[in-house]
Amino acid sequence: MGTRVERTTSLASGPLDWSLVTGAVPLVVEILGAAGLAVLLFSRDRRWWLRWLPVAVVLTVLLTYLVKLIVDDWWQPFPDELPSDVLFWIGVALLGVLLAVFRMPTLHWRGRLGAVVAGALVVVLGCSEINIHYDNYPTLRTMLGPEGTVSLKDATGTKEKTLDVPKGKAISDVWKAPKDLPAKGTVSKTPIPGTKSHFGARDAYVYLPPAYKASPRPLLPVLVLMAGQPGAPQDWITSGQLPDMMDSYAADHAGLAPIVLVVDPLGSSFDNPLCMDSKLGNVQTYLAEDVPAWAAAHLQASADRAQWAISGLSNGGTCALQMAVNAPQRYGNFVDISGQDEPTLGNRQKTVNAAFGGNEAAFDKVNPMSVMARKKFPDTAGVFVAGEEDSVYGPQAKKVYAAAQKAEMKVELMELPGGHSWQVWRPGLEKNLPWLGKHTGLTD
């Protein structure tokens, strides 16, 4: 089973908010799934034990191996292989289906209905354990998609006078929250077109904190945030629980929080254009020019690179570092959460061939490790976050952290309990919001 994290969601808050990764719900699923498996395994028929059960087990092993082969070796939608415990629970779910199918011919209609129910319980058990591993859906509500979004026009309102912040002061030094300031911020879904890059990004999500509703309006810092691959911008809204996270931070800072643009550097869930300008798409131009230009046209926010930060998880974390070294004129701060030591499609040769037609020099020109070996970045600050149990990305984070230090970046390394999952990604951002506030001029 995946490593579990403590969560305080109460059963009294309603079924949609019950935790799916800790507490009563996953325990009940485990009990029912085990019971379903026991029902499917038990039979008085000697032929079942000597013929059909061994066939089901062998088929399960073969199909599970086939899943691994397709995902890890042929399709390769992820840069890393499927974890062994995830493969195990995929196998359990497949076994439940096969056992139910093989039991059908020996049962009457009531028994067949029972076999279907038992098989479904085993499948739910497998899916639940995979969800626990990744912590992807902490509650049922997060499975339903983003809620309570408002139109960007309604969220931004009219143009306001801006708050004057003397040089050398933080926004919080001169900010006084008006009495009618809303308690929570807003989330809007909106396209951010690739006007210059022509990159086909999916719609973004924009979080505006309560302070954005004030007059005079503070020119707040901007955090550009990205999900992993496979993934989509809405992952940070649902699985990442970003609105609650930012509202909580704002509540502790009199309504102040960064504006967050959750953008798409992929184009689709399973594409990986590697966050660079290449044959796969002009993602670097999209993030360095199109996104800031859109923000300038649609929002009242700071345009100072010192008050712009970029962050992401896994593929998005790698992208955050790429932008910090390849577009330092735009992003003065970054938080790389579980990122890689270089952008990849599985291996260096495959990556260089797909992106640059085999031109290694073109790849080295934008590869973060290569760039940091050539240039210094004394005006860039960053945090590298890795899971203590992440045997793949954890060592890579330490490697890149050391390279960033040599490149004179002001960097920190944070290790958190968990592996390559939301157990790390969610707190990886939340615990660094105070750091972002200080480094972007929001707070002292």
pLDDT at 109 over 50: yes
Q: What is the pLDDT of residues 50-66, one digit of tens each?
A: 889 999 999 999 999 99
Q: What is the pLDDT of residue 6?
A: 40
Q: Which residues pair with 334 in a beta bridge?
A: 310, 382
**Is there a contact between 287 and 265 (Cβ–Cβ < 8 Å)?**
yes
SS3 for 385?
Answer: strand
Average pLDDT over residues 11-18: 74
pLDDT at 13 over 70: no
pLDDT at 1 over 80: no
Instruction: Provide the 10 A C-beta neighbour count for residue 8.
Output: 8
**Is there a contact between 318 and 275 (Cβ–Cβ < 8 Å)?**
yes
Instruction: Mean pLDDT check: name the lowest of 144-148, 290-294, 394-398.
Output: 144-148
Side-chain half-sphere exposure of 181, counting CA atoms within 13 A: 24
Right CATH for 147-439 from 3.40.50.720, 3.30.930.10, 1.10.150.120, 3.40.50.1820: 3.40.50.1820
Q: What is the pLDDT of residue 74?
A: 84
Q: Which residue has the tokens 């989509």?
A: 232
SS3 for 225?
Answer: strand
SS3 for 391?
Answer: coil
Top pLDDT among 150 and 48 is at: 150
Average pLDDT over residues 85-110: 92
**Is there a contact between 375 and 407 (Cβ–Cβ < 8 Å)?**
yes
Q: What is the pLDDT of residues 257-288, one digit of tens each?
A: 999 999 999 999 889 999 999 999 999 999 99
Q: How far apart are the C-alpha atoms of 221 and 437, rounded to whole Å?
A: 8
Instruction: Mean pLDDT check: name the lowest of 101-110, 159-168, 303-312, 386-395.
Output: 101-110
Instruction: Provide the 10 A C-beta neighbour count for residue 438.
Output: 15
Q: What is the pLDDT of residues 158-211, one digit of tens each?
A: 999 999 999 999 999 999 999 999 999 999 999 999 999 999 999 999 999 999
**Is there a contact between 377 and 425 (Cβ–Cβ < 8 Å)?**
no
Closest CA to 228 of 65, 5, 428, 72: 428
Cis bond before residue 230 (omega within 30° of 0): yes
pTM of the full structure: 0.89
Q: Which residue has the tokens 């485990």?
A: 30
Average pLDDT over residues 343-357: 94
SS3 for 78?
Answer: coil
Q: How far apart are the C-alpha atoms of 73 and 62, rounded to whole Å?
A: 15
Q: What is the pLDDT of residues 397-421, one digit of tens each?
A: 999 999 999 999 999 999 999 999 9
For the chain, the structural domain boundaries read 11-140, 147-439
